[in-house]
Amino acid sequence: MKPIKVILLFVVLNLMAFTMLSASIKPGSPEYDAWKIDQIKPHTPTLGQSNPIASNSKAQSNSARDPYNLLIPLDGSFTLAMTPNDDGYTEELTLPFTYSLYGETYDTFFINNNGNVSFVEGLYQYTPWAFPFDGYPMLAPFFADVDTRDGYNDAKSRDSGGAVWYKMEPNRVIVIWDHVGYYGQHIDKLNTFELIFSDGTDPTIGLGNTVAFSYADMSWTTGDASDGIDGFGGTPATVGINKGDEVTYTQIGRFDHPGIDFNGPDLPSGVDWLDGQVFYFDTGAVATVSVYPTTYDTALSGIEPPAGFDPYAPDTYVYYADYPAVGLKTVQIPVGPGLWKGWIYYNAAWHEADDFPYNGPGTLVFSNVPFGAKSLVPFLFTLEAPTLPVELSSFTATQTAQNTVKLTWISESETGLMGYRIYRNLENAQHSAMMITPIMIDATNTSSTHIYSITDAEVEVDNTYWYWLESVDFGSSEFYGPVSYLVEGDTPALTPEQTVMKNAYPNPFKALSGTTIEVDVKDNDGGSIAIYNLAGQEVKSFSVSPGNNNINWDGKDSRGKTCATGVYFYKLSTNSLNQTRKMLIVK
């Protein structure tokens, strides 16, 4: 017990020193800066010391913007909370609603530079405490020694980062620590994170939930005056909620090193585990239901998923619900547009969401969930893929030996489709194109790949033609293209002599803008291009046929969900060639 007593004594003395200091000098003054510099302890490097989590580490400077999005992104509607500072806080701000924190209600709040919001007074404590802690009720998405003095300094240049922003709306407050550095004035590593708190009526965080923590890229944990070295070590950063009665709290974790390891709420974890995460809380009652992401293997290893459900599909989400007491509670989480199915696991069985399936956007709700003391209840949900009349993988034009144009398109699946029409023009203008298929080409309406082709003989040498493909459904239609072709009389051999896959362009690319993979396929050859994520899971595939194939990938998987940023592989598989290359989706 002696080491514990020493640690507790250190915390008490540290708090006493901080309290006495606060009565005499304030952050930003020369006296305060000099005092804080004195808190930096000299460090002697330990030669030959190994890092046990080096394989998971990404301790590096983040000179680019984040590959992850906040739940509510920063835009021009936010207000600068504080000018560049160390350990500062705002004046007392009036809430547009009454906020409930474990039974205590508040009408005002303070935004503190050091990664938290407090309700009784502004707080410039820079070395974080573990929760629960007596006094200082707070919401702490990342309680650590934030230093913005070398960051943002221009009210018209939000992209420069290094600042704290906020926005108040009738039912919620949003605070963003945007690309902030750590004490003293270090910007080699930056953190971006967000706090949203509301009266429980904000559908963005789920109706009934009152708090959300959201994270973009997180790269440091500790300032120099908290015994940190190069942004790590020393006193861990704290992520959680504190009522201030030394009893009621929620602590997601403490973080003091790089890496993706998570070691529970009390032991130090790797800060990179927070990247891209969102946590939801309901603080309206005396105890709170906390919701945070996990994986199927972590939460449900050895348990069969619901019938027909793929727990590893890219549109599947697995979460824990945590409640620190015994009782029946409601678990809820916000979802976007589309048809959602949700299940929660307790009493050794799966239970469907209240509305099953649920038509979003809105809040997915699980009622009367039984919790034991400090129990974790896993739940999962998935976005059902919409049924599309047709999914096309390519639409190409080639020239035949007879100087005609052969148009080929490949459908991966068809449902309830009437057929196809082809249109042609001498310029890139669909509105004035002429239909060249007076009789509609019937669809096969099959779930397997089907190749269609027609030949346009009404073309002349040395002319360029544009073509559009129309897929016709009952009551609607969709156009694809155009593809263009220059008919040349001196080159009758039109199919490639060998199969070649060219580099994707652009690469890297943004998911919404897409990329193109050009593949030349020789006669009597054919196959497919498949796209895989880093885990080796196929996210999308396309068929290729003889001729010039331009595969346009919009960054979505086979179910229409936008893929996450990161590294992907595209692999060509034909009778004559197997080749794999790498591409990158960026924010």
In a domain, 44, yes or no: no
Contact 138, 241 (CB under 8 A): yes
Is the domain of 243 the same as that of 132? yes
Strands 249-257 and 268-270: parallel
pLDDT at position 10 is 35
- Least confident stretch, 83-92, 105-114, 373-382, 432-441: 373-382
**Domain containing residue 31:** 1-39
CA 90 to mean position of chain CA atoms: 30
Say which residue, 498 or 191, is predicted with more confidence: 191
pLDDT at position 573 is 92
Is the domain of 94 the same as that of 231? yes
In a domain, 452, yes or no: yes
pLDDT at position 504 is 85
Is the domain of 372 the same as that of 310? yes
Is the domain of 528 the same as that of 577? yes
- Domain end, chosen from 494, 511, 535, is at 494
Residues in the chain: 587
In a domain, 3, yes or no: yes
Q: Is 57 exposed, middle or buried, given 0-12, 13-18 or 19+ CB atoms closer than 10 A? A: middle
pLDDT band at 233 (very low <50, low <70, confident <90, very high): very high
Task: List all residues 6 or more positions away from 73 whose beta carbon is below 8 Å from its beta carbon.
Answer: none
- Least confident stretch, 287-301, 336-350, 553-567: 287-301
pLDDT at position 44 is 42
In a domain, 45, yes or no: no
User: Best-predicted range by mean pLDDT among 167-171, 336-340, 521-525?
Assistant: 167-171
Instruction: Identify the helix (H) or strand (E) that includes residue 31.
Output: helix 30-38
Q: Is the pLDDT of residue 138 over 90?
A: yes
Q: What is the mean pLDDT of residues 396-401?
A: 86
In a domain, 20, yes or no: yes
Tens-place pLDDT, residues 452-463: 999 998 998 889
- Domain end, chosen from 441, 467, 494, is at 494
CA 76 to mean position of chain CA atoms: 21
pLDDT at position 265 is 82
Q: Is the pLDDT of residue 155 over 60?
A: no
Is the domain of 515 the same as that of 489? no
**Average pLDDT over the chain, rounded to whole?**
82
Is the domain of 228 the same as that of 336? no
Per-residue three-class SS string for 312-363 = CCCCEEEEEEEECCCEEEEEEEEEEEEEEEEEEEECCEEEECCCCCEEEEEE
pLDDT at position 13 is 39
Is the domain of 489 the same as that of 504? no
Task: List all residues 6 or more positions away from 453 whose beta carbon is below 8 Å from its beta carbon.
Answer: 406, 407, 408, 409
Tens-place pLDDT, residues 83-135: 899 989 999 999 999 999 988 999 999 999 999 999 999 998 888 989 888 88
Q: What is the CATH number of the domain that holds 585?
A: 2.60.40.1930
Quote the number of domains for the chain.
Answer: 5
Is the domain of 490 the same as that of 517? no
Is the domain of 472 the same as that of 521? no
Collapsed DSSP state (helix, strand, coil) of residue 86: strand
In a domain, 46, yes or no: no
Q: Is the pLDDT of residue 57 over 50?
A: no
Say which residue, 21 or 407, is predicted with more confidence: 407
Contact 290, 281 (CB under 8 A): yes
Q: Is the pLDDT of residue 59 over 70?
A: no
pLDDT band at 379 (very low <50, low <70, confident <90, very high): very high
Is the domain of 415 the same as that of 313? no
In a domain, 347, yes or no: yes
Is the domain of 214 the same as that of 138? yes
Q: Is the pLDDT of residue 2 over 60?
A: no
pLDDT at position 147 is 93
Is the domain of 121 the same as that of 241? yes
pLDDT at position 192 is 94
* DSSP string over 148-159: -TTS---TT-GG
Tens-place pLDDT, residues 183-230: 988 989 999 999 999 998 888 888 888 999 999 999 999 999 999 999
Phi-psi region of 539 (alpha: psi -120 to 50; beta: other; left: phi over 0): alpha
User: Best-predicted range by mean pLDDT among 352-361, 383-392, 473-482?
Assistant: 352-361
Q: What is the mean pLDDT of residues 455-479?
A: 86
- Domain end, chosen from 365, 384, 403, is at 384
pLDDT at position 422 is 94
pLDDT band at 494 (very low <50, low <70, confident <90, very high): low
In a domain, 517, yes or no: yes
pTM above 0.85, yes or no: no
